[in-house]
Structure 1
Amino acid sequence: MQTVELTLVGKPECHLCQDAKTVVDRVLAAARENNIDITYSEINILDDEQAAAEYGEDIPVVLLGGRPYASFYVYEDKLAYAIIDERDRLLRRSRSLFGRIFRR
């Protein structure tokens, strides 16, 4: 099973970050109920200079598979579909690698 990586970049006292966290929490719960293997982390730009330099005031930012997926506003349905797409992409990639290894 492939693990989807989801990260929320933000800071305390940011109302859009709090809104994004609420959406992310709901989507995480639904993903786990549907047996999607997912890891979640948060990055506080006040504690991470690199993230602060990269994202600045463009927060919140949702990273999916380490790549920016959304910023400012996060929509529950779109994030859920993006997580499914990422899981499927990872599965296709692993099957492709698996096939190449055993075709030799």
Structure 2
Amino acid sequence: MDDMFGRAKKKDGGAGREPGARLVTLIGKPGCHLCDDARGVIAAVCAETGASWEEKDITRDEELHRAYWEQIPVVLVDGEQHTFWRVDAGRLRRALDA
């Protein structure tokens, strides 16, 4: 799977995951240094916890743009907003373990 910048990205989990597995979504945009930082934290925490993660490009989705433009990067856990701007690894890990 490619990330929002066209780079190949490895996503933990996938086809063999248990039903009800956790999903982290990073909403960001190309060229965003905070998005780059968030991506690193999310990738590490998801690798530790076994959660899957994905990215969505706010510049390609009008609804996401309207909802989150002033908050990017935004992190969702199972579709619910978890945080924005900065991602705390410990807090994300606790949310995924809950």
- TM superposition score normalised by structure 2: 0.77
- Letter paired with 1:40: W
Matched residue of 1:46: which SS? helix
Residue of structure 1 in register with 2:38 after alignment: 20
Q: Unaligned 5+ residue runs, structure 1?
A: 33-37, 86-104
Alignment of 1:35-50 (within 5 A): 38-50=51-63
* RMSD (Å) for aligned C-alpha atoms: 1.0
Q: CA deviation at 1:23?
A: 0.3
CA distance in 2, matches of 1:69, 1:53: 18
Q: Provide structure 2 residue ranges, at least 5 long, that are not aligned to the other structure.
A: 1-17
Deviation at 1:39, TM superposition (A): 2.7
Shift of residue 5 of structure 1? Answer: 1.8
Cα displacement string for residues 38-96 of structure 1 (whole angstroms, at most 9, x for unaligned residues)? 332111001111100110121000001111000001011110011111xxxxxxxxxxx
Separation in 1, partners of 2:29, 2:54: 13
Match of 1:52 in 2: 65
- Residue number in structure 1 paired with 2:80: 67
Higher helix share: 1
Q: After TM superposition, what 4+ stretches of structure 1 lie above 3 angstroms from structure 2?
A: none
3-state SS, counterpart of residue 55 of structure 2: strand
Q: Does the residue aligned with 2:43 lie in a helix, a strand or coil?
A: helix
* 3-state SS of paired residue (2:70): coil
Give the match for residue 30 of structure 1.
48
1:5 partnered with 2:23: yes
Give the TM-score taking structure 1 as reference length: 0.73
Bigger-Rg structure (1/2): 1
| Percentage of identical aligned residues | 36
What is the count of residue pairs matched by the alignment? 80
